[in-house]
């Protein structure tokens, strides 16, 4: 009786199973890596309808983050400033224009500021493109974190150095849990003269980068303020 299939074909099923297994693991790894915030959100830097520079406003001019994002200490959500907030500095008319006519001329003709003034006059809001966003099934409360001593820096990085606003952290669940498990690494004392205010991003960065000092200060603050960041699902998913 002739042999239809050579003996080596007995190994084919095993090879196929092994190959499919490797391919399956590859698909799982690629999905885990490329379809998570660690890959596709960090560095997100969309073009905005108005070229607003945090580096100029928060950096050079030293404007407190809370001047524009005024309700972060009271609300669960950080507000995007309306055009009225912009116009409180950018009217450029009156005494300012009289005292520095050349500066007002540049200010008056700036294309971005023309858009801001037009939006203010028409009452039509500027359609800013959102950068930092967590999934709809998760909840983040700004006020709780800020009032607990978590600076803007810990989530948003050195916004005062960003010419174009971008996302610097993944905001993934694992990233959040790392902070909740070790809050002493991120909590700052706003009464510290080296920091002065929670929005002093440079001061906060300097303190947090000194790990030994920060752990001592942070541990004391966690105990003093009885901070117990929740790690159960219901804290963020409800």
The residue ranges of every structural domain in the chain are: 133-235
Per-residue model confidence (pLDDT) at position 204: 96
**124 token code pair:** 């039509």
Q: How large is the average pLDDT for residues 1-18?
A: 78
Q: How far apart are CA 215 and CA 238, in angstroms?
A: 32
Q: Give me the chain's average pLDDT, please.
A: 89
Q: How many CA atoms lie within 13 A of 165 on its CB side?
A: 17
Of 141, 143, 233, 217, nearest to 183 by C-alpha is 217
Alpha carbons 57 and 212: distance in angstroms, whole number: 32
Whether residue 141 contacts residue 229, with contact meaning beta carbons closer than 8 Å, is answered with no
Averaged pLDDT, 3-7: 75
Q: Which range, of 33-37, 116-120, 173-177, averages the lowest pLDDT?
A: 33-37
Confidence class for position 228, pLDDT limits 50, 70, 90? very high
Share of the chain above pLDDT 90, in %: 66
**Cα 184 from Cα 218, distance rounded (Å):** 4
Residue 81's pLDDT band (cuts 50, 70, 90): very high
Range in 59-63, 157-161, 194-198 with the lowest mean pLDDT: 194-198
Q: Looking at the DSSP assignment, which residues form a beta bridge with residue 187?
A: 150
Mean pLDDT value across residues 68-97: 84
Looking at mean pLDDT, say which of 5-9, 29-33, 56-60, 99-103 comes out highest.
Answer: 56-60
Residue 106 has what pLDDT?
72
Q: Where are the alpha helices (DSSP H) in 91-172?
A: 95-99, 101-109, 111-122, 142-147, 152-156
Q: Which residue has the higher pLDDT, 99 or 180?
A: 180
- Is pLDDT of 185 > 80? yes
Q: Which residues contact 180 (CB under 8 A, 6 or more apart)?
A: 229, 230, 231
Q: How much is the average pLDDT of 182-194? A: 91
Q: 231 — phi, psi (to 5°)?
A: -120, 5
């Amino acid at each position: 009786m002739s042999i239809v299939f050579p003996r080596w074909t007995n190994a084919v099923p095993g090879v196929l199973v092994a190959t499919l297994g490797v391919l399956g693991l590859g698909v799982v790894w690629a999905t885990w890596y490329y379809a998570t915030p660690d890959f596709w959100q960090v560095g997100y830097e969309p073009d905005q309808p108005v070229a607003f520079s945090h580096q100029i406003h928060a950096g050079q001019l030293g404007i407190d983050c809370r001047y524009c994002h005024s309700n972060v200490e009271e609300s669960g959500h950080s507000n995007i400033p309306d055009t009225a907030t912009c116009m409180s500095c950018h009217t450029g008319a009156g005494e300012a224009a009289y005292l520095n006519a050349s500066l007002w001329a540049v200010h008056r003709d700036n294309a971005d500021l023309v858009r801001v003034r037009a939006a203010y006059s028409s009452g039509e809001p500027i359609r800013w493109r959102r950068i930092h966003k967590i999934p709809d099934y998760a909840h983040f409360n700004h006020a709780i974190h800020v009032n607990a001593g978590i600076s803007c820096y810990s989530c948003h990085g050195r916004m005062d150095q960003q010419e174009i606003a971008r996302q610097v952290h993944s905001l993934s669940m694992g990233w959040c849990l790392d902070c909740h498990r070790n809050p002493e690494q991120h909590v700052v004392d706003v009464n510290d003269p080296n920091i002065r205010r929670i929005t002093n991003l440079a001061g906060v960065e300097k303190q947090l980068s000194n790990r030994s000092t920060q752990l001592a200060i942070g541990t004391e603050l966690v105990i003093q303020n009885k901070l117990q960041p929740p790690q159960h699902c219901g804290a963020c998913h409800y």
